[in-house]
């Protein structure tokens, strides 16, 4: 019997309809105002670039991106709260950036809550710059929260 443990690592693969329940469990654990399963299924149906990151046990993170007209738009990037701060979000963002470049996008856009400091730090470290604000974009406990629009030139 070997005493060497195998490093399970993480794998990226395209999201499928069969993944929606697992992705929804992460979405609900991470966000006070989560997307619905219908939104995720619509993203798959229309052909958005939808990815899951999994280890040997389960899906740990996912992302949804649209690409067209020379730009890509990260619609959702989420890591399970128990797996945050381990580099999974950074790996997923690098993957999306590479895909956007491969599809000849010249800009990668996203919205983020100003209150989401961890996400802001990730995006700033990846080279994103603030290019605007969408007023009252996100639902919030006491009304609505603005979204910062961030862009990365590819």
CATH number at residue 76: 3.40.630.30
Average pLDDT, the chain: 93
Residue 47 within a domain: yes
Residue 4 within a domain: no
Which residue blocks in the chain are alpha helix, DSSP H?
20-30, 37-45, 88-102, 117-125
Our answer to whether residue 123 is catalytic in this structure is yes
Q: Which residues contact 76 (CB under 8 A, 6 or more apart)?
A: 27, 35, 62, 63, 64
Q: How far apart are alpha carbons 130 and 95 in whole angstroms?
A: 21
Q: Which domain holds residue 53?
A: 11-153
Q: What is the three-class DSSP state of 131?
A: strand
Residue 87 within a domain: yes
Residue 118 within a domain: yes
Report pLDDT digits (tens) over 41-95: 999 999 999 999 998 889 999 999 999 999 999 999 999 999 888 899 999 999 9
pLDDT band at 12 (very low <50, low <70, confident <90, very high): very high
Residue 2 within a domain: no
- Among residues 111, 130, 138, 145, the one annotated as catalytic is 111
pLDDT at position 70 is: 94
Residue 28 within a domain: yes
Our answer to whether residue 62 is catalytic in this structure is no
- Among residues 123, 137, 138, 145, the one annotated as catalytic is 123
pLDDT at position 85 is: 87
In the chain, the number of structural domains is: 1
Residue 1 within a domain: no
Residue 3 within a domain: no
Whether the per-residue pLDDT at 2 is higher than 50: the answer is no
67-70: Cβ within 8 A, 24+ apart: 67/99, 67/100, 67/103, 67/105, 70/104, 70/105, 70/106, 70/107
* pLDDT top residue among 87 and 150: 150
* pLDDT top residue among 83 and 96: 96
pLDDT band at 8 (very low <50, low <70, confident <90, very high): low
């Amino acid at each position: 019997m070997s005493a060497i443990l195998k490093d399970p690592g993480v794998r990226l693969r395209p999201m499928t309809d069969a993944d929606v329940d697992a992705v929804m469990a992460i979405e609900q654990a991470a966000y006070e105002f989560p997307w619905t399963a219908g939104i995720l299924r619509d993203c798959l149906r229309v052909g958005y670039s939808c990815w899951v990151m999994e280890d040997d046990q389960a899906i740990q993170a996912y992302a949804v991106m649209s690409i067209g007209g020379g730009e890509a738009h990260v619609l959702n990037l989420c890591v399970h709260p128990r797996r945050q701060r381990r580099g999974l979000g950074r790996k997923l963002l690098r993957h999306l950036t590479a895909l956007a470049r491969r599809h000849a996008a010249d800009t990668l856009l996203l919205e983020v809550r100003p209150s989401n400091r961890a996400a802001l730090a990730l995006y700033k470290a990846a080279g994103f710059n603030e290019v605007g604000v969408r007023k009252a974009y996100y639902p919030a406990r006491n009304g609505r929260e603005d979204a910062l629009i961030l862009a990365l030139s590819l």
